C-alpha cells in the first residue's frame, strides 16, 4: 500500500521568501538591539624593552576585534533580513503549514486545531529540473482565470515552489507518497506494485470544496488507471484544470492516459513538450479541462499571456532574481501547437481523424479566385451583391483556397472585450453587415472568422437552392429545421477533446471547409447555407429571420444596413 500525506499551505501574495512560503516569526516586533561600538585607545608611553610585544598584542587585539565586528555585523544583517522576510503585509492572512497523514487524520479538524508555528519554514526545490517544473506548473495554472485552491500530488516541493508564485493562490494541499506496505500484483513486470487507490479515495471523501487546479508533479505519483483519473475529475470544480506529466520522451504509450481522460469526461485535452527538459519525467505534459469553454484560455495570444504573467506572478522580496527563469509568454504560446511526432502517433492510431484534405472531398478541385466575380444578386429584387461563376465549376471545387488562409480571426478573449465594451447586438450586426463573419466554437467559446476576399458576398440559398458549403448541411433548410432544437449538423463546429492533428492545423480548419456541392455553370450564382453560420444561442431567432427574408417579408441585413433601414 502507498499512503498519501497531506501538507496544507494557505498563502498570501506577500508572504513569500525567495519564492518560498514562510510562517512569520512571532518575535518580529521586538525592539531592535542597540548597535555596539568597539574601540581601542592607547594613551600611555610604552617602554622600549616591551614595545615589540605590546605592538604585537595591539595588532592581535585589533584583528580579533575586526573579526568580532564582522561576525556581529553579519548576524545583525541576517536578523534584519529575517525580520523583513517574515513580517506580514497589512491586511494579508498569515500562511499556514500543516502536515498530516491523509489516511488517519480528519483534515479539516486537524487544520483547525493545529497552532501556528513559530519557526521559519523554507520550501526549497529538491531537484535540478527547474525549467521542467516551470514548464509543468505555469501553463496550466495560467489557463485558470483565478486559481485559489490547488492540490498537488507528488513527493517533492518543486511544484509547490512554482505554484506559490501565483498571487491568486489561497490554499494548497500537497499529498506526498509514504510507502507503508507493498501489494503484490502478478500483472506487474517487477512482481510488485504500490497501490494508491484507497489513499486517493480518502482524499476525495475528505474534500468538501472543489479544487481549481490539480497538479500531479511526476508520472509515478499517480496510478494511470481510470479509477484514479476519475476521482481527480470528481475533485475538480466545473472550470477546473488537471495538469499531468506523462513521460520523459514521446512514445506510443502516451495515448493510454489520454484515453482515460476522455473516458471520465474531460472535454478538452492538450499535450505539449518542453525540449529543454532533456530526460526529465516532466518533458511531456498534458493539460485537461473539465469544461469545454475553458479551452478558450488555452488559445490566447502572446500579449495576453504576457499581461497575465505580469499580473499573476510575484517576485520574491529582497531578491534581484526574476520569478521565472525559463518560461515566458512566447514559450507558453508555443505549447499551443503539438509537435509533429505527437501528431504522427495520433494519426497512426486514428487514421480516419487525420484527413489529408482537411475534411475536403477526396476528389476536390482547387480553383483560383478568378473563377468567380461580384455582380448584382439574382436572389430577389431587394438583394444586394452576389458572386457568380466566370467559368463552369465542377462539383467538389474549392475556391481561392490560398486566400482563405488570410482570413481575419477574432479570438474568444478579444470577443469578450468587445462584448464588455459595446452593445452586443449592434456589434454582431456590424460584423455581419460590414465584414460577413462566421461564428465558430473550435477554440472553446465564441470566436469569429471573417473572409478576407469577395467570397464573403455569397448570399443565402433559400429552400435548398444553396450550392456551396459542406455536405453536412445539405439536408438543412430554413423551412425544415425545428425552432426548438439546434440541428445536429450545425453543432459540429466544436473541436474534438483531443486531436493534435486538428490543433496543428487549426487555421486551416477555421478558414476552409466549404466547396461546391453540385456543378455550377458559367454565370450561375454561388449560394451558401446560412444555417451553418448561426449562433447556437440565437438559433430560433436567426431561423425566423431567414424565413422572413426568403418569403420576401424582409430584406437582407446587408441591404437594410446600406439603405439606412430601421434596424440601424
Q: Could you tell me where the beta strands, DSSP code E, fall in 259-310? A: 268-273, 284-289
Cα separation values, 335 from 178, 202, 345, 390, 533, Å: 33, 34, 17, 44, 30
Cα separation values, 218 from 180, 197, 235, 249, 278, Å: 20, 17, 19, 13, 15
Tell me the pLDDT tens digit for each residue of 63-94: 787 777 776 666 555 443 443 333 333 333 33
Tell me the pLDDT tens digit for each residue of 367-385: 998 999 999 888 877 777 8
Closest among 510, 516, 469, 471 to 493, alpha carbons compared: 510
pLDDT at residue 556 in the model: 58
Class of domain 365-562 as given by CATH: mainly beta
Tell me the pLDDT tens digit for each residue of 150-173: 988 876 678 888 898 998 988 888
Name the least confident of 93-102, 283-292, 310-319. Answer: 93-102
How high does pLDDT run on average in the chain? 71
pLDDT at residue 59 in the model: 82
Beta strands 149-153 and 211-216: pairing type? parallel
| pLDDT for 27 beyond 50 | no
| pLDDT for 210 beyond 50 | yes
Q: How confident is the model at residue 393 (pLDDT cuts 50, 70, 90)?
A: very high
Terminal CA-CA length for the chain = 70
CA angle, corner 546, sides to 545 and 547, nearest 5?
90
Check: CB of residue 341 under 8 Å from CB of residue 272. no
pLDDT at residue 432 in the model: 44
Check: CB of residue 543 under 8 Å from CB of residue 550. no
Closest among 549, 122, 505 to 340, alpha carbons compared: 505
Extract the C-alpha cell encoding 540: 430560433
> pTM score, two decimals?
0.67
Residues 117, 199: Cα–Cα separation, whole Å: 27
| pLDDT for 397 beyond 60 | yes
Check: CB of residue 12 under 8 Å from CB of residue 89. yes
pLDDT at residue 563 in the model: 57
Between residues 30 and 409, the one the model is more confident about: 409
Between residues 18 and 235, the one the model is more confident about: 235
Between residues 525 and 74, the one the model is more confident about: 525
- Rounded to 5 degrees, φ, ψ at 499 are -155, 90
pLDDT at residue 25 in the model: 40
Annotation: CATH topology of 2-23+94-336: Rossmann fold (3.40.50)
| pLDDT for 129 beyond 60 | yes
pLDDT at residue 204 in the model: 59
Check: CB of residue 12 under 8 Å from CB of residue 207. no
* Total count of residues recorded for the chain: 568
Average pLDDT over every residue of 287-305? 88
pLDDT at residue 502 in the model: 84
Residues 428, 462: Cα–Cα separation, whole Å: 22
Tell me the pLDDT tens digit for each residue of 464-503: 999 998 877 778 888 888 888 777 766 545 678 888 988 8
pLDDT at residue 508 in the model: 74
The structural domains of the chain, with segments of one domain joined by +, span: 2-23+94-336, 365-562
- Per-residue HEC secondary structure of 441-493 comes to ECCCCCEEEECCCHHHHCEECHHHCCCEECHHHCCCCCCCCCCCCCCHHHHHH
The four Cα atoms 166, 168, 171, 175 give a dihedral, to 10 degrees, of -40
Cα separation values, 296 from 441, 450, 495, Å: 9, 18, 11
pLDDT at residue 330 in the model: 92
| pLDDT for 125 beyond 80 | no
Residues 289, 298: Cα–Cα separation, whole Å: 10
| pLDDT for 268 beyond 60 | yes
| pLDDT for 452 beyond 60 | yes
| pLDDT for 299 beyond 80 | yes
Q: How confident is the model at residue 12 (pLDDT cuts 50, 70, 90)?
A: very low
Q: Which of 12-26, 31-45, 287-301, 477-491 has the highest mean pLDDT?
A: 287-301
| pLDDT for 46 beyond 50 | no
pLDDT at residue 363 in the model: 86
pLDDT at residue 50 in the model: 57
Beta strands 149-153 and 171-179: pairing type? parallel
Cα separation values, 319 from 21, 127, 441, Å: 15, 21, 44
Name the least confident of 101-110, 173-182, 240-249. Answer: 101-110
Run of H or E residues at 197: helix 197-205
pLDDT at residue 440 in the model: 58
| pLDDT for 547 beyond 90 | no
Residue 6 region, left (φ>0) first, then alpha (ψ -120 to 50), else beta? beta
Tell me the pLDDT tens digit for each residue of 230-257: 888 989 999 999 999 888 777 888 888 8
DSSP readout, 510-563? HH---EESS-B-TTPBPEE-GGGG--GGGHHHHHHHHHHHHTTSS--HHHHHHT
Tell me the pLDDT tens digit for each residue of 348-367: 888 777 877 777 888 888 99
Closest among 218, 97, 223 to 156, alpha carbons compared: 218
Residues 234, 264: Cα–Cα separation, whole Å: 9
Q: Is the dihedral of CA 65, 66, 71, 74 positive or negative?
A: positive
Amino acid at each position: 500500500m502507498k499512503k498519501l500525506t497531506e501538507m496544507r499551505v494557505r498563502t498570501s501574495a506577500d508572504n513569500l521568501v525567495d519564492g518560498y512560503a514562510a510562517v512569520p516569526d512571532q518575535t518580529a516586533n521586538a525592539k531592535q538591539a542597540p548597535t555596539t561600538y568597539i574601540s581601542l585607545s592607547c594613551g600611555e608611553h610604552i617602554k622600549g624593552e616591551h614595545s615589540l610585544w605590546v605592538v604585537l598584542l595591539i595588532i592581535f587585539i585589533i584583528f580579533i576585534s575586526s573579526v568580532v565586528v564582522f561576525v556581529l555585523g553579519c548576524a545583525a544583517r541576517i536578523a534584519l533580513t529575517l525580520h523583513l522576510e517574515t513580517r506580514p503585509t497589512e491586511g494579508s492572512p498569515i500562511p499556514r503549514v500543516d502536515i498530516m497523514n491523509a489516511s488517519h487524520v480528519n483534515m479539516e479538524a486537524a487544520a483547525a486545531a493545529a497552532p501556528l508555528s513559530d519557526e521559519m519554514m523554507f520550501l526549497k526545490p529538491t531537484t535540478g529540473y527547474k525549467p521542467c517544473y516551470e514548464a509543468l506548473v505555469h501553463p496550466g495554472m495560467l489557463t485558470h482565470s483565478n486559481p485559489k485552491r490547488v492540490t498537488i500530488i507528488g513527493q517533492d516541493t518543486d511544484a509547490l515552489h512554482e505554484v506559490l508564485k501565483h498571487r491568486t493562490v489561497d490554499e494548497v494541499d500537497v499529498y506526498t507518497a509514504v510507502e507503508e506496505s507493498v501489494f503484490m500484483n502478478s500483472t506487474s513486470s517487477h512482481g510488485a506494485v504500490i497501490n494508491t487507490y484507497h489513499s486517493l479515495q480518502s482524499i476525495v471523501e475528505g474534500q468538501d470544496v472543489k479544487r481549481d487546479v490539480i497538479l500531479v508533479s511526476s508520472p509515478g505519483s499517480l496510478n494511470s488507471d481510470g479509477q484514479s483519473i476519475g476521482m481527480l475529475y470528481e475533485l475538480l470544480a466545473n472550470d477546473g484544470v488537471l495538469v499531468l506529466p506523462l513521460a520523459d520522451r514521446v512514445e506510443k504509450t502516451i495515448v493510454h492516459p489520454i484515453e482515460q481522460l476522455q473516458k471520465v469526461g474531460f472535454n478538452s485535452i492538450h499535450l505539449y513538450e518542453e525540449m529543454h527538459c532533456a530526460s526529465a519525467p516532466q518533458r511531456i505534459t498534458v493539460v485537461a479541462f473539465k469544461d469545454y469553454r475553458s479551452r478558450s484560455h488555452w488559445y490566447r495570444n502572446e500579449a495576453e499571456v504576457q499581461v497575465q504573467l505580469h499580473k499573476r506572478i510575484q517576485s520574491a522580496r529582497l531578491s534581484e532574481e526574476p520569478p521565472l527563469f525559463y518560461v515566458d509568454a512566447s514559450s507558453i504560446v508555443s505549447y499551443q501547437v503539438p509537435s509533429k511526432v505527437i501528431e504522427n502517433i495520433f494519426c497512426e492510431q486514428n487514421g480516419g481523424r487525420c484527413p489529408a484534405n482537411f475534411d475536403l472531398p477526396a476528389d476536390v478541385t482547387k480553383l483560383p479566385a478568378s473563377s468567380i466575380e461580384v455582380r448584382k444578386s439574382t436572389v430577389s429584387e431587394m438583394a444586394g451583391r452576389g458572386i457568380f461563376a466566370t467559368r463552369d465549376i465542377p462539383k467538389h471545387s474549392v475556391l481561392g483556397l490560398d486566400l482563405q488562409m488570410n482570413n481575419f480571426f477574432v479570438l474568444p478573449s478579444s470577443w469578450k472585450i468587445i462584448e464588455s465594451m459595446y452593445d452586443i447586438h449592434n456589434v454582431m450586426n456590424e460584423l455581419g453587415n460590414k465584414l460577413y463573419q462566421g461564428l465558430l466554437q473550435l477554440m472553446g467559446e465564441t470566436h469569429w472568422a471573417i473572409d478576407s476576399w469577395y467570397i464573403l458576398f455569397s448570399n443565402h440559398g433559400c429552400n435548398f437552392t444553396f450550392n456551396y458549403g459542406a455536405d453536412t448541411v445539405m439536408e438543412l433548410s430554413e423551412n425544415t429545421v425545428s425552432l426548438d432544437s439546434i440541428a445536429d449538423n450545425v453543432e459540429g463546429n466544436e473541436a474534438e477533446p483531443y486531436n493534435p492533428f486538428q490543433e496543428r492545423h487549426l487555421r486551416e480548419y477555421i478558414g476552409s471547409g466549404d466547396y461546391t456541392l453540385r456543378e455550377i455553370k458559367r454565370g450561375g450564382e454561388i449560394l451558401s447555407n446560412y444555417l451553418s453560420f448561426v449562433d447556437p444561442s440565437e438559433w430560433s431567432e436567426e431561423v425566423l429571420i431567414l424565413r422572413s427574408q426568403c418569403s420576401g417579408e424582409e430584406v437582407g441585413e446587408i441591404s437594410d444596413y446600406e439603405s439606412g433601414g430601421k434596424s440601424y
